[in-house]
Amino acid sequence: MRTLLGLLISIRDVGVTTQDIETVRRIRIMNVVAVLASTFSLSYSFFYTIYDAALFKTEIIFVLIMGGSYALVFAATRAGEVQVAMWMLIGIALTHISYITWLLGPGAGTHTYLLTLPFVGSLILRWRDRYAILPVGIAVSLVFFLVAFSDHPRPFDQLGAVERQVFFLLSVLGAVLLACGVSLFMQWLITTAEANLEAEKARGDRLLHAILPESIAEILKADESRVVAQRYVEATVLFADIVGFTKRSANIDAEQIVRGLNDVFSNIDDLATQSAIEKIKTIGDGYFAVAGLPDPVPDHAARMAKFALDLQQSTEAWSQTFWPELQFRVVIHTGPVVAGVIGKSKFSYDVWGDTVNTAARLEEVCEPGAILITETVRSALPKRFQTEEAGLVPLRDKGEISIHRLIGREPINQT
């Protein structure tokens, strides 16, 4: 079954390479119509042979020749001559239906296949060539009336009334089946295209949400030209950088560096998600995150403190797994910030302000393995968080500020 399906797909895609989606659609429809027309021709020749090979000798030979001629359509699509293939298909089909109707007479019903030609033509014509359907329709109409009102001896006239009726009904049924087959294939193409479009849309949404906070992503999806910017009275920012990264990276190859950073930051991302912390970006070996935006929350300082402690607690396990002797410097500061989306092709959600600058400066005086917090953070933390005073430290361009070390927390009473 799989072999047959693979064969059918191969036939459908003869001539399909890297063309645009419209050309691929046209090629596939032409290939399917050519296969159906050839199959129907062979079926009719078999039927005529079984019924009376002597009586329908001329018709059998003609139908076999025309059935084989549809292979020319595949040759044209395979050569990349899509327009040639289109007019070849229409020409062969028009000749085929017209002459077999001339041979058998309108009573055989084969002229009903002419009605499928404008339908097929509308599917395989390019939009800019849409007016070409008019001459196709005119040609079909002229041939239809010509064969319908022609009068000459035919083998079909020698059949009985019941047999003529059966022949006519079989022809009508064949035309309907051909039109239905093409319609179903077109419907399948549309359904497949819609499914692919939905999959691409979902993939794009996942990528957008991976880059931006969900609420910001939804705003940009609704209006990508909108300027997204907001001022927050208070939020908590965190910087964490790997101790000794520069020295370590000088002694290992690039692939190991990237793999190691990816392992570390992927685990930190998981911790950030658990603590409802918004990752802003990574800067080299540093990790920048914020709590309290884009959706303000009253406990942003507590969330960030929990995240920082979880990070330091996990460091020992990570150092045993994929980063020997891993240590972080972690600093936290609370204050007003401005956040927004910048850029067009490679946009990002970023945070600015004196609060961010102060945290960045504080990172310069942080000891390895420590979590330094400012007085504003300590004041905002619940009493369950344990801190110790670290005194006054001078910060570049900031002067002296009072800092504390975050050293632990008491378990939350679940009763």
Q: What is the pLDDT of residues 163-180, one digit of tens each?
A: 878 888 888 888 888 888
Statement: 226-409 belongs to CATH 3.40.50.1100: no
Find the helix packing angle between 71-78 and 57-69, rounded to 10°.
Answer: 10
With cut-offs at 50, 70 and 90, classify the pLDDT of residue 239.
very high
* 114, 149 Cβ separation under 8 angstroms: no
- State which H helix or E strand residue 6 sits in: helix 2-12
Q: Is the pLDDT of residue 77 over 70?
A: yes
* 237, 321 Cβ separation under 8 angstroms: no
Bridge partner residues of 403 (DSSP):
374, 391
**What is the mean predicted confidence (pLDDT) over 77-96?**
88
Where in the chain are all domains bearing CATH 3.30.70.1230?
226-409
Q: Check residue 199 and give its pLDDT.
A: 83
What is the Cα–Cα distance from 228 to 114, expressed in whole angstroms?
59
Lowest mean pLDDT among 12-16, 52-56, 147-151: 147-151
What is the Cα–Cα distance from 354 to 231, expressed in whole angstroms?
13
Q: Check residue 306 and give its pLDDT.
A: 92
Q: Is the pLDDT of residue 10 over 70?
A: yes
CA Rg value for the chain:
37
- Positive or negative: CA dihedral 101, 104, 107, 112: negative
With cut-offs at 50, 70 and 90, classify the pLDDT of residue 230.
confident
Buried b (16+ CB within 10 A) or exposed e, 137-164: eebbeebbeebeeeeeebbbeebeeeeb
Q: In this predicted model, what pLDDT tens digit does every residue of 100-146 receive, in sequence order?
A: 888 887 778 888 888 888 888 888 887 777 777 777 777 777 777 77
Quick one: how far is CA 234 from the chain centroid? Answer: 39
Q: Is the pLDDT of residue 315 over 50?
A: yes
Q: Where are the alpha helices (DSSP H) in 127-160?
A: 133-148
- State which H helix or E strand residue 348 sits in: strand 348-352
What is the Cα–Cα distance from 409 to 407, expressed in whole angstroms?
7
- State the chain's maximal CA–CA distance in angstroms: 115
Residue 224 tokens read as 């990508």
Give the number of other Cβ atoms within 10 Å of residue 168's Cβ: 17
Q: Is the pLDDT of residue 40 over 70?
A: yes
Q: In this predicted model, what pLDDT tens digit does every residue of 362-395 receive, in sequence order?
A: 888 888 888 999 999 999 998 889 888 888 888 8
Q: Check residue 238 and give its pLDDT.
A: 94
Q: Is the pLDDT of residue 147 over 70?
A: no
Q: Check residue 217 and give its pLDDT.
A: 72
Q: Is the pLDDT of residue 28 over 60?
A: yes
Mean pLDDT of the chain: 82
Q: Is the pLDDT of residue 333 over 90?
A: yes
Nearest to 245 by CA among 331, 324, 359, 360: 324
With cut-offs at 50, 70 and 90, classify the pLDDT of residue 184.
confident
- State which H helix or E strand residue 208 sits in: helix 161-211
With cut-offs at 50, 70 and 90, classify the pLDDT of residue 273.
confident
* 328-342 vs 348-352, strand pairing mode: antiparallel
- Side-chain-side CA neighbours of residue 278 (13 Å): 26
Q: Check residue 331 and give its pLDDT.
A: 92
Residue 308 tokens read as 């920082």
Q: Check residue 237 and give its pLDDT.
A: 93
What is the Cα–Cα distance from 261 to 265, expressed in whole angstroms?
6
With cut-offs at 50, 70 and 90, classify the pLDDT of residue 226.
low
Q: Check residue 414 and give its pLDDT.
A: 45
CA angle 262, 263, 268 (to 5 degrees): 95
Q: Check residue 177 and give its pLDDT.
A: 87
User: Between 144 and 196, where is the model more confident?
Assistant: 196
Residue 367 tokens read as 């000891």
Q: Where are the alpha helices (DSSP H) in 212-324?
A: 214-222, 245-249, 254-274, 300-321
Q: How many residues does the chain have?
A: 415
Q: Check residue 401 and give its pLDDT.
A: 86
